[in-house]
Structure 1
Amino acid sequence: MSTGPIAFDATLWDEPTTGIGLYTRCLAGALEARGVRLEKFGARSSGDHPRGDSGRTSWTLARLPALLQRTRPPLYHALGNFNLPLTRIPGTAYVLTVLDLIPLLMPETVSAKFRWQFRLWLSRSLLLADRVVCISERTRQDLLARFPEAESRAEVVPIGVDHVHAPVLDATSEDFLRSLALPKEYVLYAGSLDVRKNVDLVLDAVERLRARGRSVPLVLAGQSWFGSGRVESRIARLRAEGHDIRPLGYQAEPVFYELMRRASVFVFPSRYEGFGLPPLEAMRLGTPAVVSTAGSLPEVCGDAAPAVRPDDAEGLAATLDRLMRSPEERRALSAKGRARAGAFTWERTAEGTLAIYEAALRR
């Protein structure tokens, strides 16, 4: 692509706990590896045009249009679901990535303020976008069910998972993991503790198994999120009752991936995902994953991960029990998972994104 630098939304570049931040950094690296020149706009403290102490919303609405007007890039790519400028900059094509429509599909999982911001800003962005990137077919179908006018402009470009490698741990991380005294075999859930992620189903399954005399150690690696207080209270109660549940909170990547690599089974029964990266990360590390039948999880994981309905506690309990008792089945799923995850690379994501840039520039 022989145009000037692409103006690239970096407003979540310096926010490492977010999935959009990961998407931003990995996509930028893959595009630049293909020779695409990027000019990074709006990171907190890095990139070409950092926003400093300004909030992401106020910076995008008040300062970004003037920056684009001054620099006149051929294309601006917004990566945060809905955050294009509200006005058109002459000569600049607009591309928008939509990762999911959770505030519209599951309004109870976000604040009312964010829900309204999402709905109104997404509607406006879709009026202005020359092309829309959806990270799964599930996301594309959910988008078109509400905004059918975007059909000719919305295309699917799955994200990659080859940013994940067996971690190299420093001495502090090694000491921390050793101090946890984790059992040799355990089930891991990794993700935030909000209602959408359906951690309650994992706790239901663990309770059922213990009632039958089958105690399954459960490790939880994830941060608190909107509405997570009730789940955290339940975890504390179950621990007081003698369940082996280890809530570790947010962990930096090396420890996070090592916990994932060591786990016997990774469980992720989310009620909705626009993509569902954590189980694919586990599969890449060779850890068998169990997912739900909801959202994009069946699309992404295929037959490489057993799936249960998001309200089927008995089914999840039976699946976990079977896998924990069967190293042979776990090895078979590990091989299938690695093969499945191998198809999702950031190089392919960059290739698909670049094709969308070229289509937008021909508008």
Structure 2
Amino acid sequence: MRRPVSIGPVAFDASLWDEPITGIGLYTHCLADALEARGVRLQRLGARVSGEDPRGRMGRTAYVLGRLPRALRETEARLYHALGNFNLPLVRTPGKPYVLTVHDLIPLSMPETVSRAYHWQFRLWLARSVQVADRILCVSACTRDDLLARHPEVSDKVTVTYNGVDHVDRHVPDATAEAYLRTLSLPSRFVLYAGSLDVRKNVGLVLDALERLKARGRQAALVLVGQSWFGSGSVESRVARMRSEGHDIRPLGYQSEQVFYELMRRATVFVFPSRYEGFGLPPLEAMRLGTPAIVSTTGATPEVCGEGAPAVRPDDAEGLAEAMDRLLQSDAERRRWAEAGRKQAARFTWARCADETLAAYEAALRR
């Protein structure tokens, strides 16, 4: 365990602190907890209502570009850590090094998955942010390689700092969550997908696999947990059609953490055939909880899940159907992959993430 550090207070990007917990918001909370456990004092800047400088009704972009530079000039914090891919102020703040976390470059590599306005915002702001940053943390080697392919000039300040996954250990369902889960009357065996329903997540491949299984008389129940996102309308329409045709598909929308992780524990198999991930946390969470996961062969998912999960190509509906069927039908297969998954997931802890983040802080302060 790394010794506690005394680098002084850190100004910490809290722009998603008060929002519903999704990917970057989860990273924000878990990293903050792990840093504070190391003795780091954080000043949370830019949250909607909490922290040292809440932005109130001001939008996140307006806050970073308009008010954050002044807040950084006035704070005693020694550096600022932005957590959202590109959201650094456009100019340096004298005496305040900048650290930036980049999770993925999907709006650039897959522009069809975001709005045109967001694509250009991401492209232009990222280009400036990597120039003003003193250290850049990428959550996988895959993301690092994507970043350096576009910005090779920043290679000397980029490091890979993996996410943790052990946050799932502390989540157990409360009475309200248990009561809700009982109302679902879930079957004894079901497939779970968790994430947004956009094109990149490739939920359509899961639906293709369900249709193949049903054609063989192997109908499987599917539970979908996640919110609508840009381009999710076609998936939602197809789900409605398939339900009318007799498929057991249960779209539950966004769920609390207690419900979400209990569904992961109860699932027979977790599927995540995303076309691209900068890290790929949901399958790793399932693996940590002992649920076999099926993942994609693309993006950072093979790097993160390694030998802990079977992988299929993101266009291989037949391969996904066969992998799902094996895990649904075979107790031995599920035990084998559950054990392999737990072993792989144990490598990823928030304590390790915090230690590597602290090393980046120290390097930024030395520049």
Normalised TM-score (structure 1): 0.98
Q: Is the 8 A contact 1:166 1:257 kept in 2?
A: no
Is 1:70 the counterpart of 2:45? The answer is no
What is residue 145 of structure 1 aligned with on the other side? 149
Q: 1:166 to 1:205 in 2, by over 3 A?
A: farther
**1:140 positional shift:** 0.2
Q: How is 1:1-363 mapped onto 2 (pairs within 5 angstroms)?
A: 1-165=5-169, 167-363=171-367
**The residue matched to 1:324 in structure 2 has which SS?**
helix
In structure 1, C-alpha distance between the alignment counterparts of 2:22 and 2:66, rounded to whole Å: 24
In structure 1, C-alpha distance between the alignment counterparts of 2:24 and 2:276, rounded to whole Å: 16
In structure 1, C-alpha distance between the alignment counterparts of 2:170 and 2:309, rounded to whole Å: 20
CA offsets per residue over residues 4-55 of structure 1, 9 Å max, x none? 3111111111113321111011101101100111111111111111111110
Q: Is the 8 A contact 2:7 2:362 kept in 1?
A: no
In structure 2, runs of 5+ residues without a counterpart are none
**The residue matched to 1:80 in structure 2 has which SS?**
coil
Percent identity between matched residues is: 70
In structure 2, C-alpha distance between the alignment counterparts of 1:308 and 1:254, rounded to whole Å: 29
Q: Is the 8 A contact 2:7 2:40 kept in 1?
A: no
User: Runs (4+) of structure 1 moved beyond 6 Å?
Assistant: none
- C-alpha RMSD over aligned residues: 1.0
In structure 2, C-alpha distance between the alignment counterparts of 1:106 and 1:72, rounded to whole Å: 40
**1:73 positional shift:** 2.7
**The residue matched to 1:2 in structure 2 has which SS?**
coil
In structure 1, runs of 5+ residues without a counterpart are none
Q: What letter corresponds to residue 135 of structure 1 in structure 2?
A: V
CA offsets per residue over residues 54-91 of structure 1, 9 Å max, x none? 10000000000011112253211100000000111111
Q: 1:72 to 1:168 in 2, by over 3 A?
A: closer
Q: Is the 8 A contact 1:6 1:39 kept in 2?
A: yes
In structure 2, C-alpha distance between the alignment counterparts of 1:265 and 1:60, rounded to whole Å: 41
**1:2 positional shift:** 3.3
**1:274 positional shift:** 0.4
**The residue matched to 2:166 in structure 1 has which SS?**
coil
**1:228 positional shift:** 0.4
Normalised TM-score (structure 2): 0.97
In structure 2, C-alpha distance between the alignment counterparts of 1:215 and 1:168, rounded to whole Å: 30
**1:170 positional shift:** 2.7
In structure 2, C-alpha distance between the alignment counterparts of 1:17 and 1:71, rounded to whole Å: 27
Q: What letter corresponds to residue 277 of structure 1 in structure 2?
A: L
Q: What letter corresponds to residue 285 of structure 2 in structure 1?
A: E
Q: What letter corresponds to residue 301 of structure 2 in structure 1?
A: L
